[in-house]
Structure 1
């Protein structure tokens, strides 16, 4: 067992009565402390069954499940579940109880005193972005879908479990609310560092939410398990490649940032009132058809065509066209690509925190980043194969 493993499944199996084919077959898997491991795969592959096996809502028919070093296939199942937070797509709030009572369910079972429970309720409502004074005495029917899902997360965190199981928790929510809740949950996870097993059928959600992703085939056979970056850069077989789908190269750009992985290039610039002759010479030397106009604070403001700078013509603050596409240092290369596609000069200007011009990202930068990620992933798997 890895020293960092919080959860370990050792050849776990589940065969339902009356069937010969296992729903989960000889699954061995480790989940590291403080990480989000996402289980993703086609419908019916056993993702949710695997999740329910961990907290023994479903009893395994073979193998062992360990939390830390304890074999939990031998402990009381009810006590086990009180140690684990559980969030499902249908939320499952008790309709006859207030929000506060829902959140207090497990702490009360554990015998917490009233003051501690009340403090925990208010703390968790604040954590999930709901004002305690406004929401603690409401009932589930008075909440929107997004609010109810937040309460579901708060309830799962009620007794401060070290482990959370999340079964498509954002699947029934509209895309805008879903994206916001995903972002908020990731922000909360940065502080809480829970060990989380997260089930989804959506590869884009898996890429966004997971520290690691396990792509499952039939009967929960692991086809590939690794970081999102390496899976996107180097899918190990056709099954994984087909499941990820088209556009995996572009998705990989979400994990490369402008300041960390890209050596930015200078770009020909000039200021209002400057003699354009030198700027034209710089543009020709750089092989560009544009000059970037900067204001007195060095902020990029206009794209000026080199063809407009002939004959010693002066440049004004409304020359050329407005710079509408730019990114900040720290932006992802995917964001840079989006801005590049709408840029007059087909490059993405990069600005510092104060808005001053720093350099540009070109298409060649993206190409180099993609090729480097693929090479690193290929070398990683070659090393694993050599040591296995």
Structure 2
């Protein structure tokens, strides 16, 4: 990221006529190049107003808005808006224009040549997962909600803007389609590296979509701004804690990887080993379960000491399925999901060759969470000391 913010709001405020209470009050905010900054907060806190101030759909009552160091409160607002892609919940496609014409709206305003516009429309439809041959000549009424939202994103990208503003873009879509579109958009962002300000009221969506999250209180007052993992690990006050809600610790496991854990030796036996070997290993470790592996050390099943103590002639009918296996890149949230489904209350980790590498158990998650909380608290203490 560039050391100079792509977008800088300098004590920006907005007070509507007829009221003395600002909708936005002295907001100072930086958005770095290539990041997704999510504005999240309760209804009426000024999230959408802040978004509209950035592209001057409404004029600020005070303060400055800088894009690439230029004070855009002093430039033509129409020209400014053509530099910024804008996606809203209601999509706002022009009903009497085809999909291709909708996407071409801003490029036409900018005077692009017809051939260039056609190439851009075809490229963007492909980018958002819509076959140009199938969709370019359709009208908005012929689309599903998810398809229309994809077209809305394509139209916002029409003139290849550096900046995108997204106001509850997936809020009016069913949960399954919403999750799919969120994933697709994050994939696109890895390719496009746009600077994005994203508004939502849903903290789970903010956690999923944001490189950073700004939790706003009344009048767009910033209560906490940081990465999702730090906010989950260390809410700075009761307002943030209440807004995040219950389960923040569990949500934080999404940002911790299995690779962050130090794998220790865990008892296992081969299907060629005698039962007595397994019992001895369990006695030494003080455990009830071990992992049965094959000749290549690939996990087969969980075996309990009670089964091994009976000295069966074969392991064929013994044990419990190990279930899905963990890799080093998997999240600890996924590890927890597998853990609660496991007969042994633990999840099995394999290396890149599929060989048994260890297990993840509840004590590992506890230590990882406490470490994340400690590091986040230390971060804020250092910030306060340097303020």
Answer yes or no: same fold by TM over 0.5: yes
In the other structure, the counterpart of 2:240 is 240
In the other structure, the counterpart of 1:159 is 159
In the other structure, the counterpart of 2:27 is 27
In the other structure, the counterpart of 2:339 is 340
Name the CA distance, whole Å, in 1 between partners of 2:205 and 2:186. Answer: 12
Single out whichever of 309-318 and 378-387 deviates more from structure 2.
Answer: 309-318
Contact map agreement 1:274 1:314 (CA 8 A) in 2 = no
Contact map agreement 1:8 1:31 (CA 8 A) in 2 = yes
In the other structure, the counterpart of 1:14 is 14
Structure 1 residues 246 and 311 mapped into 2: Cα distance closer, same or farther (>3 Å)?
closer
Name the CA distance, whole Å, in 1 between partners of 2:35 and 2:3. Answer: 14
Q: Aligned-pair distance for 1:355? A: 3.0
User: Cα RMSD between the aligned structures?
Assistant: 1.2
In the other structure, the counterpart of 1:138 is 138
Count of aligned residue pairs for this structure pair: 386
What does 1:42-61 correspond to in 2, within 5 Å?
42-61=42-61
Q: Aligned-pair distance for 1:325? A: 4.0
In the other structure, the counterpart of 2:208 is 208
Q: Aligned-pair distance for 1:320? A: 1.4
In the other structure, the counterpart of 2:370 is 371
In the other structure, the counterpart of 2:197 is 197
Q: Aligned-pair distance for 1:45? A: 0.2
Q: Aligned-pair distance for 1:278? A: 1.3
Name the CA distance, whole Å, in 1 between partners of 2:13 and 2:247. Answer: 34
Name the CA distance, whole Å, in 1 between partners of 2:310 and 2:29. Answer: 70
Contact map agreement 1:40 1:214 (CA 8 A) in 2 = yes
Contact map agreement 1:302 1:318 (CA 8 A) in 2 = no
In the other structure, the counterpart of 1:380 is 379
In the other structure, the counterpart of 1:186 is 186
SS class of match (2:6)? strand
In the other structure, the counterpart of 1:328 is 327
Contact map agreement 1:273 1:315 (CA 8 A) in 2 = no
Per-residue displacement from partner, 1:106-162 (whole Å, max 9, x unpaired)?
111111111111111111111111111111111111111111101100110010000
Name the CA distance, whole Å, in 1 between partners of 2:195 and 2:168. Answer: 16
Query: Is there any run of 5+ residues in structure 2 with no aligned partner, and where?
Result: none
Per-residue displacement from partner, 1:235-294 (whole Å, max 9, x unpaired)?
1111001000111111111100001x1112232112223212112211222222112112
Name the CA distance, whole Å, in 2 between partners of 1:151 and 1:289. Answer: 56
Name the CA distance, whole Å, in 2 between partners of 1:311 and 1:19. Answer: 81
In the other structure, the counterpart of 1:286 is 285
Name the CA distance, whole Å, in 1 between partners of 2:157 and 2:53. Answer: 20
TM-score (norm 1): 0.97
TM-score (norm 2): 0.97
In the other structure, the counterpart of 2:317 is 318
